[in-house]
């Protein structure tokens, strides 16, 4: 599969996210944390989700009441349903869903992966995002302009499925399919669904796969966050496509030539 260039990302809007209700998963560090900071600065109420409560609470203390920490393991359906109940009871709608949490998992040949390593990566990176779609579809449709954005990776689409990446690239390719399918299923609604590829950013996940790289040579999650914000605006119209931060372009999926 190849990706072809499509229209560029929409011009920034001045309307911000005032009063919008957002969930950001993987909010305790890296990309997710930067998104919480960006969205709350633009006026959104953000439910910040990760497993570890300590970093979430620190973030909420720093930001104030606009950041609502919610410790939740996304591999548990019950926890995701609790999260949806919390949002439903408080706001009756969800304007922005950011499916960002992921793990790298064991980097080995797929033939050498043990089943628990495989299952944990697929559960966290794919099934957890399906759980979010399943739990929040009604609340996203209740919004005047529901936005769902899933954080993918070039390793799931742009790369040649190189050896030794374990299940990560496979999980991101499946996530791309999940998001594109959900985009098709919501096309008649006000919901818009995008994928975003951050490219290499200065985070713990990146450091774990490129330990010899100078982190200071990389752009930061804070550089990326305003681009994700643009896709969350009510004025955003595209769906089922992928925003590629290294190229700063919205790309379309095309089948094998």
Which residues bind to ligand NAP, rule: CB under 6 A?
A: 25-32, 49-52, 73-75, 100-103, 124, 151, 153, 198, 200-201, 203-206
Q: Using the minimum distance from each CB to ligand NAP, give the nearer residue, 51 or 141.
A: 51
Among 178, 97, 177, which Cα is nearest to 145's? 97
The radius of gyration of the chain from alpha carbons, rounded to an integer in Å, stands at 17
Which one is catalytic: 39, 130, 168, 243?
A: 168
Nearer to ligand NAP, 103 or 110 (CB): 103
Q: How far is the CB of 255 from ligand NAP (least distance, A)?
A: 23
Question: In whole angstroms, how close is the CB of 112 to ligand NAP at the nearest point?
Answer: 21
Residue owning tokens 């070039």? 154
Nearer to ligand NAP, 145 or 172 (CB): 172
Other beta carbons within 10 angstroms of residue 211's beta carbon come to 8
Residue 125 or 145 having the CB closest to ligand NAP? 125
Q: What is the dihedral of CA 89, 94, 96, 100, to 10 degrees?
A: 50
Non-local (6+) Cβ contacts of 91 within 8 A are 21, 45, 139
Residue 246 CA: distances (Å) to CA of 70, 153, 223, 237: 31, 11, 11, 21
Any catalytic annotation for residue 182? no
Catalytic residue list: 168
């Amino acid at each position: 599969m190849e990706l072809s260039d499509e229209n560029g990302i929409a011009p920034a809007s001045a309307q911000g996210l005032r009063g919008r209700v957002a969930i950001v998963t993987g909010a305790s560090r890296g990309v997710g944390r930067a998104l919480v900071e960006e969205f709350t600065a633009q006026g959104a109420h953000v439910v910040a989700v990760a497993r570890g409560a300590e970093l979430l609470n620190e973030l909420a203390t720093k930001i104030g009441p606009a950041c609502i920490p919610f410790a939740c393991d996304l591999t548990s359906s019950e926890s995701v349903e609790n999260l949806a109940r919390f949002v439903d009871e408080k706001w009756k709608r969800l304007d922005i869903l950011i499916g960002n949490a992921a793990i790298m998992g064991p980097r080995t040949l797929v033939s050498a992966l043990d089943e628990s390593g495989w299952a944990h990566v697929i559960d966290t990176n794919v099934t957890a995002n399906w759980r979010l779609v399943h739990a929040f579809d009604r609340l996203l449709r209740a919004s005047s302009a529901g936005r769902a954005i899933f954080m993918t990776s070039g390793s799931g689409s742009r790369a040649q499925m190189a050896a030794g990446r374990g299940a990560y690239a496979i999980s991101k390719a499946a996530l791309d399919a999940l998001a594109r399918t959900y985009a098709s299923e919501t096309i008649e609604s006000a919901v818009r669904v995008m994928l975003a590829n951050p490219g290499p950013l200065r985070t713990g996940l990146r450091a774990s796969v490129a330990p010899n790289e100078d982190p200071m040579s990389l752009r930061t999650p804070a550089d990326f966050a305003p681009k994700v914000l643009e896709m969350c605006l009510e004025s955003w119209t595209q769906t089922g496509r992928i925003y590629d931060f290294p190229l700063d372009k919205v790309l379309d999926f095309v089948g094998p030539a």
